């Protein structure tokens, strides 16, 4: 065996550091033979060479000084007067050096600009400190991270540091390679960020491989401005089904990519007031003033989230809410759309619960109900019956219902290309003209999607993915940008020039425009695993996916601004 008990194949003779090459899936099989990767300032004893996971023995905090290891990628973006790879900090805080740490913090606070705050970072590692890594991100740009490449944190050790951060919103991403978090089976590990006595973000006592916390530096944010620089009604399909388990742990493509990509907010709880506020802030910043929220029946998860959390949120005024009636769960029976028993009772409930809310979406004073798959209801001969019941239920509460159905369906896959996209635009113009032939009683509302790939959750269906690039040489988001350019001229003034975006956060089908980040390098694209990203008859070509950050919000804002 090589030094530190490492197998020769994973020992680096040149840098004298043990490289842990095992993935979380393989670690569990050989957990009793994992080498301890340590700080160069720590000299492990022979008994520290191997640390089986089933041991119940805890080590006390180390007392040997060690640096607060970080990697400052962009020292001028959010960090003032820092050279790359440096931070003001101490490790191993105890009674003998606590005063020195406080003095350092006060000194640093005096050097922060008036538009910055001194943020204190505290990391307590568990027995497997080398599994821990973290980074702070702002606008999808890494501000600072730790530990540096090819180095690791030591076991059962406290690291303390501080830095100046500009006022604004950030995300703290913490990763535990083994997937069991920092606490509490193998030690009382924790990472926290604070300003003075206020904790901005911290890890909790739970198992995780990746956790993301959004935090704000500086004075409390004020009211979210309403959309004021657009002549359009911009709606996004919004899915309030995530709750505290991110939609029951169902899969999605971005999480399976190598390296994985996640929502910037992590796998969030959409009942969190902070999550709702951030979604409102992001969407309004992109000129979105309407959320069309998926609804699966009275007292469903989606209904409870909408009714008890979104509709009462103090920052909601300025964004209208419409309901997308999910027919697949309400009027679908026996393999087709032949059931209509819920139509009246559902809309009776919706009218009583939502239509009188001042934030509910209206056209010409009429509450609007979006109905999913009306084209299939029409195909099965049920559309007239069901919509009549819906109108009757709304009228019983004094409301003249305005119904929007998805009668028009376009299909693209692979790289759409300009020719196919132009053909789709021509067909949509024909639908717009047909709507006009109804003498003003029917309106055409265009919709746009940035791409599509549901293979992370419905692989067996064999649906072909649609790239977010218009062509193989196109830029990320070029399909979305070109689609908006084709769709916006088709909007109708009587609907407030409405355009619908599919979607804000339908992660299962990868149609979301919600910001994305990556667990690895933020600039690296991914086309693996190939069975999820391939397209074409023989699945021999693959699509690339990048952690696009807020790109789609920028594209939408630019396209819909005056």
One-letter-per-residue 3-state SS of 275-307: HHHHHHHHHHHCCCCEEEEEECCCCCHHHHHHH
Looking at 397-519, list the stretches that DSSP marks H as alpha helix, in order from N- to C-terminal side.
Answer: 417-436, 478-487
In this prediction, the residues of the chain whose per-residue pLDDT falls under 70 are: 1-110
Nearest of 439, 372, 362 to residue 394 by alpha carbon? 362
Q: Where in the chain is the domain with CATH 2.60.60?
A: 88-217
pLDDT above 90 coverage of the chain, percent: 55
Structure confidence at residue 107 (pLDDT): 57
According to DSSP, residue 167 is labeled S
Ranges of CATH 3.20.20.80 domains, the chain:
233-560
pLDDT for position 347: 98
Examine residue 511 and say whether the peptide bond preceding it is cis (omega within 30 degrees of 0): no
- How far CA 75 is from CA of 141, 143, 161, 194, in Å, comes to 11, 7, 15, 20
SS3 of 358-369: CCECEECCEEEE
Find all residues with CB under 8 Å of 154, minimum gap 6, and list them: 38, 39, 42, 62, 66, 125, 129, 130
Report which DSSP code applies to 466: B
Q: How far apart are CA 511 and CA 264, in angstroms?
A: 16
Q: Check residue 150 and give its pLDDT.
A: 81
Alpha-carbon gap, residue 393 to 409, rounded angstroms: 28
Question: Do residues 236 and 503 lie in contact, with contact meaning Cβ atoms separated by under 8 Å?
Answer: yes
Backbone angles phi, psi at 83, to 5 degrees: -85, 150
CATH number of the 233-560 domain = 3.20.20.80
**How far is residue 542 from each of residues 22, 455, 562, measured CA to CA in Å?**
27, 13, 38
Q: Which residues contact 100 (CB under 8 A, 6 or more apart)?
A: 90
Listed in sequence order, the residues at least 6 apart from 422 whose beta carbon sits closer than 8 Å to its beta carbon are 486
| Residue of 235, 252, 340, 343 lying closest to 293 (CA atoms) | 235
What local confidence, expressed as pLDDT, does residue 443 receive? 94
Angle at 465 between CA 464 and CA 471, to 5 degrees: 120
381: region left, alpha or beta (phi > 0 left; psi from -120 to 50 alpha):
left
CA count, 13 A, side-chain hemisphere, 486:
22
Burial of 408 from C-beta contacts in 10 A (0-12 / 13-18 / 19+): middle
Kindly give, in sequence order, each residue whose CB lies less than 8 Å from that of residue 242, ignoring residues fewer than 6 positions away.
Answer: 267, 268, 269, 270, 505
Residue ranges in 289-396 assigned as alpha helix (H) = 301-305, 327-330, 343-350, 374-379, 383-395
Nearest to 251 by CA among 540, 550, 529, 464: 529
Angle formed by the axes of helices 551-560 and 478-487, nearest 10°: 20
Cβ pair 134, 168 in contact under 8 A: no
Between CA 191 and CA 132 the distance in angstroms is 10
Query: What pLDDT, on a 0 to 100 scale, did the predictor assign at position 305?
Result: 97
Q: Of 446, 464, 468, which Cα lies nearest the Cα of 455?
A: 464
Q: CA 171, CA 135: separation in Å to the nearest integer?
A: 8
E strand or H helix at 255 = helix 253-256
Query: Taking Cα atoms as reference points, which of 204, 190, 197 lies closest to residue 117?
Result: 197
Q: Which residues contact 449 (CB under 8 A, 6 or more apart)?
A: 466, 480, 483, 501, 502, 503, 511
- According to DSSP, residue 218 is labeled S
Rounded to two decimals, the pTM is 0.78
The conformation of residue 30, written as its DSSP 8-state character, comes to: S
Q: What is the Cα Rg of the chain in Å?
A: 27
- Provide the pLDDT for residue 20: 24
**How high is the pLDDT of residue 12?**
27
Nearest to 109 by CA among 153, 60, 163: 163
Q: How far apart are CA 17 and CA 12, in angstroms?
A: 6
Question: What CATH code is assigned to 88-217?
Answer: 2.60.60
Q: Is 243 helix (H, G, I), strand (E, B) or coil?
A: helix
């Amino acid at each position: 065996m090589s030094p530190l008990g490492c197998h020769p194949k994973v020992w680096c003779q040149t840098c004298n550091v043990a490289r842990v090459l095992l993935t979380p899936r393989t670690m569990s099989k050989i957990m009793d033979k994992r080498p301890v990767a340590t700080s160069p300032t720590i000299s492990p004893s022979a008994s520290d060479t191997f640390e089986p996971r089933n041991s119940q023995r805890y080590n006390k905090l180390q007392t040997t000084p060690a640096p607060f290891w970080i990697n400052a990628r962009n020292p001028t973006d959010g960090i003032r007067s820092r050279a790359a790879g440096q931070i003001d900090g101490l490790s191993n805080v105890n009674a003998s050096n606590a005063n020195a740490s406080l003095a350092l913090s006060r000194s640093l606070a005096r050097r922060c600009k008036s538009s910055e705050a001194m943020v204190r970072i505290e990391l307590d590692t568990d027995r497997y400190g080398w599994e821990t890594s973290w980074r702070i991100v702002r606008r999808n740009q890494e501000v600072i991270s730790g530990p540096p490449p090819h180095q690791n944190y030591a076991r059962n050790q406290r690291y303390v540091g501080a830095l100046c951060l500009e006022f604004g919103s950030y995300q703290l991403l913490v990763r535990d390679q083994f997937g069991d978090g920092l606490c509490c089976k193998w030690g009382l590990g924790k990472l926290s960020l604070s300003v003075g006595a206020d904790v901005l973000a911290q890890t909790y006592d739970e198992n995780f491989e990746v956790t993301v916390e959004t935090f704000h530096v500086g004075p409390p944010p004020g009211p979210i401005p309403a959309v004021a620089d657009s002549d359009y009604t911009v709606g996004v399909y919004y899915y309030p089904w995530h709750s505290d388990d991110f939609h029951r742990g169902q899969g999605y493509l971005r999480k399976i990519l190598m390296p994985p990509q996640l929502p910037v907010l992590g796998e969030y709880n959409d009942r969190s007031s902070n999550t709702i506020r951030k979604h409102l802030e992001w969407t309004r910043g992109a000129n979105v003033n309407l959320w069309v929220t998926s609804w699966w029946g009275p007292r469903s998860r989606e209904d409870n989230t909408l009714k008890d959390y979104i509709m009462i949120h103090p920052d909601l005024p300025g964004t209208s809410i419409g309901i997308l009636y999910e027919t697949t769960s309400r009027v679908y029976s026996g393999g087709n759309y032949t059931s209509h028993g819920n139509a009246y009772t559902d809309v009776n409930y919706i009218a009583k619960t939502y239509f009188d809310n001042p934030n509910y979406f209206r056209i010409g004073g009429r509450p609007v109900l979006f109905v999913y798959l009306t084209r299939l209801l029409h195909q099965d001969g049920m559309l007239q019956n069901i919509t009549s019941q819906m109108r009757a239920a709304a009228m019983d509460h004094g409301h003249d219902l305005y119904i929007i159905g998805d009668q028009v369906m376009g299909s693209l896959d692979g790289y759409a290309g300009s020719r196919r996209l132009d053909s789709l635009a021509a067909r949509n113009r024909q639908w717009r003209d047909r709507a006009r032939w109804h003498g003003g009683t029917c309106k055409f509302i265009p919709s746009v999607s940035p791409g599509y790939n549901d293979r992370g959750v419905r692989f067996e269906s064999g649906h072909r993915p649609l790239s977010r690039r218009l062509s193989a040489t196109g830029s990320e988001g070029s399909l979305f940008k070109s689609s908006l350019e084709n769709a916006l001229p088709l909007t109708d003034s009587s609907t407030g020039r409405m355009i619908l975006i599919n979607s804000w956060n339908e992660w299962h089908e990868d149609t979301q425009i919600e910001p994305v980040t990556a667990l690895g390098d933020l600039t690296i694209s991914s086309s693996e695993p190939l069975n999820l990203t391939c397209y074409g008859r023989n699945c021999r070509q693959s699509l690339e996916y990048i952690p696009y950050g807020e790109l789609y919000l920028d594209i939408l804002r630019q396209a819909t601004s005056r």
